[in-house]
Amino acid sequence: MAYRQTPKTTAKKAAMRARLMAAATRLFAQQGYESTSLKQIVELADTSIGNCYFYFQNKEAILLAIAEELRTEIAGVVDAAIASAPPGPAQLYAAVYAGTLAVLERADVARFALSDSAHPAIRPLTIKMFTARVEAALRGYPELLSNWPEATPQLVAAAWHGGASHVIEAAIEGRITEPHTQIADFVARWNMRALGAEGGGKGSRH
């Protein structure tokens, strides 16, 4: 007879998985991924390495799960911002502003979960998450590329991500100290102006 999980068992497993991820997130943020051991993670989560293996194969698997959770969270914020913005350039502004702000508000996690500093597989997935949304928005409004006939949605999205990621990195490292909302507004307006459009964001009222 096949084993069937009860709702209570499912909830307990989800809670333990969340505890392990929360413990790892705290330790990775405090002392770095490389300096954190699986033993430290399970001790902080109040469990054992043997039990941890039911949920994660190793420390790397926990890191990748944290990164995926953060990407999903930020993608949801960006998608909601796009959906609530008026059709046109405002949606592109909203995508960049919301995405930049969401990363900055989770800087402690983004520092290790959205870059390749901890694992080489993370950065390509992060880039894909952002650029796919910008490309989709640009395809819906091709007139925004009229000032750059040689540009494609893929090229613009890649250029936008490059600029935004460098600014975000500088902010996370403390080399830029302006308020997060100001940084996000600047990045969004800078990208929109590259296409010759303000985007209907906060900057259009300045």
Are 44 and 72 in a shared domain? Answer: no
pLDDT at residue number 3: 58
Q: Mean pLDDT, to the nearest integer, of 137-163? A: 88
Are 191 and 98 in a shared domain? Answer: yes
The residue among 123 and 199 whose pLDDT is bigger is 123
* CATH number, domain with residue 36: 1.10.10.60
Residue 89 lies in a domain: yes
Residue 202 lies in a domain: no
pLDDT at residue number 118: 77
Distance separating alpha carbons of residues 1 and 118, to the nearest angstrom: 43
Percent of the chain with pLDDT over 90: 66
How far separated are the first and last CA of the chain, in Å rounded?
68
pLDDT, tens only, 14-53: 999 999 999 999 999 999 999 999 999 999 999 999 999 9
Q: Looking at the 3D structure of the chain, how many domains does it have? A: 2
Are 98 and 20 in a shared domain? Answer: no
Are 24 and 95 in a shared domain? Answer: no
Residue 204, pLDDT above cutoff 60:
no
- Which of 36, 56, 76 is the C-terminal boundary of a domain? 56
pLDDT, tens only, 70-114: 999 999 999 999 999 998 889 999 999 999 999 999 999 998 998
Distance separating alpha carbons of residues 171 and 178, to the nearest angstrom: 8
Residue 69 lies in a domain: yes
Residue 26 lies in a domain: yes
**Residue-range definition of the domain harbouring residue 171:** 64-197
- Which of 56, 74, 92 is the C-terminal boundary of a domain? 56
Residue 167, pLDDT above cutoff 60:
yes
Residue 206, pLDDT above cutoff 80:
no
List CB contacts of 164: < 8 A, sequence separation 6 or more.
96, 99, 100, 130, 187, 191
The residue among 202 and 164 whose pLDDT is bigger is 164
Whole-angstrom Cα Rg for the chain: 20
Q: Count helices and strands (H / E) in the chain.
A: 9, 0
